[in-house]
Amino acid sequence: MCICFSIGNCGSSLPKTNLEERKQFLKAVGLPILVSIQPRHNKDKKELQLFIKTENLTKVNISKFQILFFASDGNRQLLIPDESKTPELICSIQKKIQPNSIYKCLVGPYVFTQLWNSIQVQSISFTTEDQIRHVIDEEDLNDVILWL
């Protein structure tokens, strides 16, 4: 699902793409990141893999970044990957994410006993270079996530 927001061109004569509009909106409302998630999966084999790109839209370095996911079945029951003891699927970037740069993270591949039906982002958190921890709250998750 992709939610696009329209905002003015701010005097620019170049047409903006939906991605550019999304970034401009996030900067204007103070949301510091844009996360693109591309699921790569084979449901028939009960496999799940997520390719994630994180872009720092702030003017400060992000020193630590983490996204917590869950996979669920058709009955909305959380699934535990075959080789795990807990259901959490985590993308963690421990490198410094500089302003206006993109970092990639691969989650999986995971194999489940049951067929998975959906992927839910539980939380996104990051720490800025001044060691302040930030959490993107539930109401803002859809604004900062682009599903590809």
CATH number 2.60.40.1170 given to 19-147: yes
pLDDT for res 4: 28
Structure tokens at 119: 């992927």
For the residues of 26-90, what is the DSSP string, one character each? HHHHT--EEEEEEEEEEGGGTEEEEEEEEEE-SSS-EEEEEEEEEEE-TT--B---TT-SS--EE
Structure tokens at 134: 């930030």
Domain ranges across the chain? 19-147
Per-residue model confidence as pLDDT tens digits over 56-82:
998 899 989 999 999 999 999 999 999
Instruction: Answer for the pair 83, 111: CB distance below 8 angstroms, yes or no.
Output: yes
Indicate the pLDDT class of residue 5, thresholds 50, 70 and 90: very low
